[in-house]
Structure 1
Amino acid sequence: MKFPSLVSFMPGLALMLQYEKQWLRDDVRAGLSVAAVALPVAIAYAQLTGVNAAVGLYSCVLPMLVYALFGTSRQLIVGPDAATCAVIAAVVTPLAAGDSMKHWQLVMTMTAMTGFWCLIASRFRLGVLADFLSKPILMGLLNGVAITIIVGQFSKIFGFTFDERYLIERLSGAPSYLTKTHWPTLLMGLVTLLTYALVKRYRPQWPASMCAMAVAAFLVWAFNLTSFNINVVGEVSAGLPSFQAPVFDIGIARELVVPALNLAMVSFVSMMLTARSFAAKNGYDIDADKEFRALGIANIASALSQGFAVSGADSRTAVNDANGGKSQLVSIIAAVLIALVALFFTAPLKYIPSSALGVVLVIASISLIDLKALWNLRVRDRSAFLLACTTLFSVLFIGVIPGITLAVLLGLFQFLATVMRPTDQVLGLDHKGVIRSVDDSGKAKSVPGVFIYRFNSPLTYFNATYFKRRLLEKFIREPDPVDCIIIDAVPCFTHLDLSVMAMLADLHQLLKKRGIRLVLAGRKRQMLGWFEQAGMQSGEGGILIRPDLYLALKMNQSYKQALAEGQAPVIKKAPEDDVLLYSHL
């Protein structure tokens, strides 16, 4: 293939160069369907973000084209997302202080920062962060964001304005707010909801959101309903945006750095969950690092085209897959159609009532809520349930941004807890001579005179002391005399850490005084190199290193035979060594 480096940099382009003609019909149908679903949602999300409806269209066109070239998922559709828009609105609104132009500029700035964070993460191959926020944490986060959006949109549907910023205060003031209901606005919202339900019921193949908004806009235009003080989108400028760099105050920009990092993390994790599920369904793999880069470039492209942050859109991706989309051409077709609307068909958009957009956002947010799955965690994994609930209530009680920050910290603490306090096992042999865990089942028994230990986490400076304590605790519980301790080095010795080496040297000296040999089994070549770098002795008189557990057992047996025949040195132990060993626990 020509230009291999270019193709590697643009995975989507590589697929397009190998495009098969039989895909075209499915891709065109999927592209039309995606555009029909994306249009009303983009306008609604623009309102949620606090910018003009045209910005929602801008946020679809260039990012979708960019992802079609740089993304590795064939089905994923990028675009405005409920969670990303809610995060941006929560950060930017207080900083803008009611200045609509400043608000727009800050939205673009935060979007660009999010893109740069994604590019940095891709450069350092941090695609593994897709697994950083665990499923329970993300579940709690999305449920919390969805509930926050729904409550916020009630003001649009009922025709009043919230004075409070946070959810709990808004709910506590609900009775007084309901007395301010603007009935024509509420009636328009109910008409939108009814239209949506009827289309879903009788014409499920039609884009229900677009039909509902079209009916609402037609009623406003035909009966001049703005005379009843029903708020509408208003004038939407036609044409594509002029490319410009975001203009911002450096002092305010500092306030966006950490929220943009949080947004990049949440957007990427959410996007990867969607991309991986559809990739598995359609039988191909995706590259997490390249997905990080594609998301970063898409967000920068959105910022330069005056749009806001984008992520993987699960609903539009599902529409793509349901209509048989085979390649990234679907994104290109949908982007072109949305661009045509932005160029020539913006006039009807000004009649769309805000209450109709609120209904569309509520419907979209309801799809994010899955309290049943969250509750089911209580039975399957109680710790995961508590983690999800903590994240959920953090978002509800302290706000979206602090809730996301806490979710990221919870993910970090969860990882550290797993690494610092991992599971461990004492190993033995079953009746077939296979090494396995010694447990209550009785399928494996300890090898006479040998203690085999496995620590299920990489050893580093912050868990080395715990490793030593756990090994000695389990060793002391052994009922029979032991003269050899074998450590399975494969799962725990993954890199050179001088603190770990110092701990090993201390452990070796402690055991040597009791006449117990210390053996490391596995990673022999690496271990020998690390011992040399650390200036530690291996082999006779030092820590023994064997290629694997089975060979370690065999060589220990040979050593005992040699010892019995008087051919091996005998190490005498002092009577005070037991006290010394206990003092290290």
Structure 2
Amino acid sequence: MDSFFSLARWMPGLVSLLSYRRAWLLPDVRAGISVAAVALPVAIAYAELTGVGAIVGLYSCILPMIVYALFGSSRQLIMGPDAATCAVIAAVVTPLAAGDAARHWQLVMTMTAMTGFWCLIASRLKLGILADFLSRPILMGLLNGVAITIIVGQLSSVLGFTFTQSGLIERLLAVPSYAAQVHLTTLGISVLTLVVMLLSRYFRPQWPSSLLALAIAALLLWLGGPERLNVAVVGSLNSGLPDFQIPEFPPGLIRELVLPALNLAMVSFVSMMLTARSFAAKNGYDIDADTEFRALGMANIASAFSQGFAISGADSRTAVNDANGGKSQLVSIVAALAIAMVTFFLTTPLQYIPTAALGIVLILASFSLTDFRGLWALHKSDRSAFWLAWVTFISVLLMGVIPGIALAVLLGLFQFLRNVMRPTDHLMGMNDDGIVHTMGRNEEVKAITGVLIYRFNSPLTYFNAAYFKRRVLLLLASEPEPAKSVIIDAVACFTHQDISVMTMVGELHKELKRKGVHMVMAGRRGQMTQWLKQAGIRVGEEGIFVYPDLYQALRMTHSYQEHSADSTASSMETDHVTATYSRGVKR
């Protein structure tokens, strides 16, 4: 039994396959073939984007898809080449390779292996929470910027010229100067590919439009002859198994690739989890983030050692899987075997695929990454998210993919720190039924005379303790009538023991005591009492009062005020509030 649970923890996909249902076989085979039909042309196109041979794109599909089927927890997710990951690899490796094709391929494999190792380390450290680290607005800005970068970069392939500029802005400014260099035959192939793909998607959306378009373009080039038409094509491919090369890890190279590989692991994982979670929710099951981190790492290492490049969760191919009724991880295995058949036995037709047609496939794939309407919609719903998204987007365009990703990670960190260091807070009051609510727009909730109830909506730690103290004193000073007691909702903010926080609490208590204000903690009575005593802060009379919850704190506070009231009016008001509170407790 222990061995079964261990197997389920390490290889959830294999456990799922061991309990396979016969009724799933037909839909899984159908979905696997459909996925392979979509993945084949996309893999070749992304290989061109990465700067390696077309056959490498196929290598990057076969073994990684099988590995993920065994180690992944998602039943729908399809692993494979991804536009964002390929763009990142190309941006890092191209300047390091300095035009050496063999070194370029070697660097690609090395970076892919390092990305996989980063994922394994993150899984070991239980860092699946990083799936929530890059917020949706930051990821939107990042993907939109990557998409525009890819689209502009593919203009040269589509129009038949070669950019001499490396930066995006420089290329955009130089486009008019390349007008005279446009190759009309290449442009014609590009237009034909675009028309076939658009018509196929409109009239036969269930067909693999990219595969159909590339097949027609390759047929035309085979009939006309690529040399005679002077159109660039993929060229001859070596079928069969690749010549095995072990990725190199010299110290100097590691220094160059360690941070880009870390960035790539982060972006790949976050993007993959968005896809995996959406399809898991749609199909009614859960996935484990740490398991997915490990599966992504294993798949990337498998890709590196099969001479491929970095891969991630492919949303378009996952959608194809789901649309064709795929039920289990067997879909990935069927698709991998289908791609392997082409790789080992049917590579001859692939050599006639024009690079212009691949450029169109990449451009249309990149358009699926864009969501400018969603970016602009943030302007109305969340101004902060709007600016985060657009700053990330513009940074990718101006600074490049790698600096843009680094900035996106920093923005995610700064956003988190800002939310923790300067969180929202609320004053609380009571309605006529004796129920405690936050005060604000709800006019039925009234402040309790003589009592300030404060909720701080973030865990207290050393870097927001001073802010907490300032907020309490500021709110206390702004009260229209002097408060005799300050009740702090300890459940919301005292989540762990921190010596800096306890020091701040002691200082705040002394300052409130000088003002004649009692300090009360509501919630976490046992923990709070222990933490306060360990910090040398008195609890009870002449110290901080600690009660199990807000209602108990209110009742005891009003009882205390009742005994110390100086006027009948004050006593009558206290009796009224206490009675109202009692009605709320009974409810």
Query: Alignment partner of 1:445: what SS?
Result: coil
Q: Is the 8 A contact 2:150 2:366 kept in 1?
A: yes
Instruction: Give the corresponding residue for 1:396.
Output: 397
Distance 1:93 1:248 in 2: 17
Tell me by how many angstroms 1:5 deviates: 0.6
Instruction: Give the corresponding residue for 1:245.
Output: 246
Tell me by how many angstroms 1:564 deviates: 5.8
Query: Alignment partner of 1:278: what SS?
Result: helix
Distance 2:243 2:556 in 1: 75
Once the two structures are overlaid, the 10-residue window that deviates more, 441-450 or 255-264, is: 441-450
- Summarize deviations over 1:145-187 as a string: whole Å, max 9, x none: 0111011011011111111111100011111112111222212
Q: Which runs of 5+ in 2 are unaligned?
A: 567-587
Distance 1:179 1:537 in 2: 84
Tell me by how many angstroms 1:561 deviates: 4.0
- Summarize deviations over 1:191-239 as a string: whole Å, max 9, x none: 2222222322333221110111111111111221222321111121111
Tell me by how many angstroms 1:562 deviates: 4.5
Tell me by how many angstroms 1:123 deviates: 1.3
Instruction: Give the corresponding residue for 1:159.
Output: 160
2:16 pairs with 1:15: yes
Instruction: Give the corresponding residue for 2:190.
Output: 189
Query: Alignment partner of 1:179: what SS?
Result: helix
2:34 pairs with 1:33: yes
Instruction: Give the corresponding residue for 1:578.
Output: none
Query: Alignment partner of 2:181: what SS?
Result: coil
Q: How is 1:44-63 mapped onto 2 (pairs within 5 angstroms)?
A: 44-63=45-64
Tell me by how many angstroms 1:479 deviates: 1.5
Instruction: Give the corresponding residue for 2:126.
Output: 125
Instruction: Give the corresponding residue for 1:367.
Output: 368
Q: Is the 8 A contact 2:430 2:448 kept in 1?
A: yes
Distance 1:505 1:419 in 2: 22
2:499 pairs with 1:495: no
Query: Alignment partner of 1:3: what SS?
Result: helix
Q: If the length of structure 1 is used for normalisation, what is the TM-score?
A: 0.94
Instruction: Give the corresponding residue for 2:583.
Output: none
Q: Is the 8 A contact 1:149 1:362 kept in 2?
A: yes
- Summarize deviations over 1:547-580 as a string: whole Å, max 9, x none: 1111111122232344469xxxxxxxxxxxxxxx
Distance 2:505 2:344 in 1: 70
- Summarize deviations over 1:328-366 as a string: whole Å, max 9, x none: 111111011111111111111111111111111111111
Distance 1:151 1:110 in 2: 25
Tell me by how many angstroms 1:244 deviates: 4.1
Instruction: Give the corresponding residue for 1:583.
Output: none
Instruction: Give the corresponding residue for 2:569.
Output: none
Tell me by how many angstroms 1:188 deviates: 1.5
Distance 2:230 2:253 in 1: 36
Residue identity in the other structure for 1:299: N
Distance 1:535 1:215 in 2: 81
- Summarize deviations over 1:451-482 as a string: whole Å, max 9, x none: 11000011111111111111111111112232
Distance 2:333 2:265 in 1: 24
Distance 1:533 1:79 in 2: 55
Tell me by how many angstroms 1:248 deviates: 4.4
Distance 1:252 1:532 in 2: 54
Distance 1:425 1:512 in 2: 22
Distance 2:241 2:322 in 1: 28
- Summarize deviations over 1:462-513 as a string: whole Å, max 9, x none: 1111111111111111122322111001111111111111100000111112
Distance 1:110 1:342 in 2: 24
Distance 1:184 1:542 in 2: 86
Residue identity in the other structure for 1:538: V
Once the two structures are overlaid, the 10-residue window that deviates more, 248-257 or 470-479, is: 248-257
- Summarize deviations over 1:254-294 as a string: whole Å, max 9, x none: 11111111111111111111111111111111111111111
Instruction: Give the corresponding residue for 1:78.
Output: 79
Query: Alignment partner of 1:72: what SS?
Result: coil
Residue identity in the other structure for 1:50: G
Query: Alignment partner of 1:530: what SS?
Result: helix
Residue identity in the other structure for 1:108: M
Q: How is 1:253-402 mapped onto 2 (pairs within 5 angstroms)?
A: 253-402=254-403
Instruction: Give the corresponding residue for 1:461.
Output: 462
Q: How is 1:193-232 mapped onto 2 (pairs within 5 angstroms)?
A: 193-232=194-233
Q: Is the 8 A contact 1:457 1:492 kept in 2?
A: yes
2:4 pairs with 1:3: yes
Query: Alignment partner of 1:541: what SS?
Result: coil
Distance 1:157 1:564 in 2: 85
Residue identity in the other structure for 2:299: A
Instruction: Give the corresponding residue for 2:145.
Output: 144
Distance 2:423 2:522 in 1: 19
Distance 1:244 1:11 in 2: 30
Instruction: Give the corresponding residue for 2:471.
Output: 470
Q: Is the 8 A contact 2:189 2:217 kept in 1?
A: yes
- Summarize deviations over 1:383-417 as a string: whole Å, max 9, x none: 21111111111111111111111111111111111
Q: Is the 8 A contact 2:161 2:181 kept in 1?
A: yes
Distance 2:190 2:80 in 1: 25
Residue identity in the other structure for 2:358: L
- Summarize deviations over 1:71-95 as a string: whole Å, max 9, x none: 1111111110000000000010001
Distance 1:79 1:535 in 2: 58
Distance 2:52 2:534 in 1: 59
Tell me by how many angstroms 1:253 deviates: 2.5
Distance 1:12 1:539 in 2: 56
Q: Is the 8 A contact 2:226 2:233 kept in 1?
A: no
Q: Is the 8 A contact 1:449 1:484 kept in 2?
A: yes
Q: Is the 8 A contact 1:49 1:88 kept in 2?
A: yes
Change (3 A) 1:177 1:436: same
Q: Is the 8 A contact 2:226 2:352 kept in 1?
A: no
Q: Which runs of 5+ in 1 are unaligned?
A: 566-585
Q: Is the 8 A contact 1:483 1:516 kept in 2?
A: yes
Query: Alignment partner of 1:35: what SS?
Result: helix
Residue identity in the other structure for 1:491: A
Tell me by how many angstroms 1:441 deviates: 3.3
Identity of aligned residues (%): 65
Report the RMSD for the aligned CA atoms in angstroms. Answer: 1.5
Tell me by how many angstroms 1:17 deviates: 1.9
Q: Is the 8 A contact 2:68 2:296 kept in 1?
A: yes
Q: Is the 8 A contact 1:106 1:248 kept in 2?
A: no
Distance 1:454 1:306 in 2: 56
- Summarize deviations over 1:421-441 as a string: whole Å, max 9, x none: 111111111111111112243
Once the two structures are overlaid, the 10-residue window that deviates more, 406-415 or 376-385, is: 376-385
Q: Is the 8 A contact 1:8 1:14 kept in 2?
A: no
Q: How is 1:80-99 mapped onto 2 (pairs within 5 angstroms)?
A: 80-99=81-100
Query: Alignment partner of 1:285: what SS?
Result: coil
Distance 2:495 2:242 in 1: 51
Q: If the length of structure 2 is used for normalisation, what is the TM-score?
A: 0.94
Once the two structures are overlaid, the 10-residue window that deviates more, 15-24 or 408-417, is: 15-24
Distance 1:162 1:530 in 2: 65
